[in-house]
Amino acid sequence: MFVGIDIGGTNIKSVLADESGKILHTCDAVTAKTPKLINEEIVSLIDKLTLDACVDKGEIEAVGIGAAGSIDRKRGVVISSPNISCWKSYPLVARLEKILSIKVFLENDATVACAGFWFKDRKKNYKTFVMVTLGTGIGGGAVIDGRLFTGQNGSSLEIGHMTVDVNGKECNCGNRGCLEKYASATALVDYAKAHLKEYKDSSLFKRIKHDRLTAKMIYEEALQKDELAIKSFEYISFYLGAGIANIINIFNPEAVIIGGGLSNAHKLIIPAVKKIVSDRAMKGMKESVKIFAVKNQSVIPALGAAKIAMDRLSGID
């Protein structure tokens, strides 16, 4: 029995799964603001998972963690995390192993999303693909020639911090013009907010009278044909398309798969992304690449984290 935990900038998602990938139970929490509170949330998620699934905690062989940010997978340290800023060279694995007395393995959150898709894709349709996770930020993972690619220390494919505008907006990572400043859920909300005054009839005005503007609201209003909401999706899709054209030119993948919370809006994003890719990616690579959204995206990264715990416990690195 394995636990997989996906720690994002907004939410923590966890699954209890067996060796075959069967999910026995899932549980979520809102990401806390300090390392200590995040650790406490993880302990309580594992308690809930085992209690609800009527499984003894002693049956858990290992815990896999996917964490947003730059990590050292071998030492189990989160080096920095633009969207979970309380982690600075934080020894997450050592702390959790001490609290839980269970073996813990750390990977980047987008790498676990990629592993989750790879685990679920029983037919192994693709041997070389890139996963782009669209959420509060943007992450990435890749399977290359049938092997999960982790880079030198586990921080590969930080697609969200690819420069798409050399003199562009400042990013939390220290660079400027990063893709996630233009194409994430945060960028979607920022764009809509910045242009509200130009769209006095926008239905988004009614929504923000009661609540803070969210990506979900913009999605819902875009489906109702609100002009500003549609424009906001066009804006992020343009930059996402340019970023994905870069990825296609570098990896020559069979597929680019969109995951993360914002992938629920794939009907609004993917056709526009395909158009930009067709305009910008290189001939000979763009024609055959498949671009689509992952199904059941909400549990895929946590399942991937559980799979990574299984593999790394058995010595597959």
Neighbours of 84 (CB within 10 A): 24
**Minimum CB distance to Zn ion, residue 259 (Å):** 19
User: Quick one: 161 or 207, whose CB is closer to Zn ion?
Assistant: 161
183 in contact with Zn ion (CB under 5 A): no
Asked if residue 138 binds Zn ion (CB under 5 A), the reply is no
The interface region with Zn ion, picked from 29-37, 144-152, 168-176, 223-231 by CB under 5 A, is 168-176
- Of 171 and 229, nearer to Zn ion (C-beta) is 171
312 binds Zn ion (CB under 5 A): no
In a 10 Å sphere around its CB, with 0-12 CB exposed, 13-18 middle and 19+ buried, how is residue 215 labelled?
buried
What's phi and psi for 285, nearest 5 deg? Answer: -120, -40
Q: Which stretch binds Zn ion (CB under 5 A): 55-63, 129-137, 156-164, 211-219?
A: 156-164
Q: Per the structure block, which two tokens stand in for 190?
A: 């920022």
Residue 178, interface with Zn ion (CB under 5 A)? yes
Residues 54, 59, 63, 64, CA torsion sign: negative
**Do residues 140 and 256 make contact, with C-beta atoms less than 8 angstroms apart?**
no
Name which of 63 and 178 has its Cβ closer to Zn ion: 178
Q: How far is the CB of 80 from Zn ion (least distance, A)?
A: 11
CB of 178 vs Zn ion, minimal distance in Å: 3
**243 near Zn ion, judged by CB under 5 A:** no
Q: Which stretch binds Zn ion (CB under 5 A): 122-130, 165-173, 182-190, 191-199?
A: 165-173
Exactly one of 171, 255, 273, 308 binds Zn ion (CB under 5 A); that residue is: 171
**Minimum distance, C-beta of residue 138 to Zn ion, in the bound complex (Å):** 9
How many residues touch Zn ion under the rule CB under 5 A: the total is 5
**Binding residue for Zn ion, selected from 31, 110, 150, 161, defined by CB under 5 A:** 161
Shortest Å, Cβ 134 to Zn ion: 15
Where does this chain bind Zn ion (CB under 5 A)?
A: 161, 171, 173, 175, 178
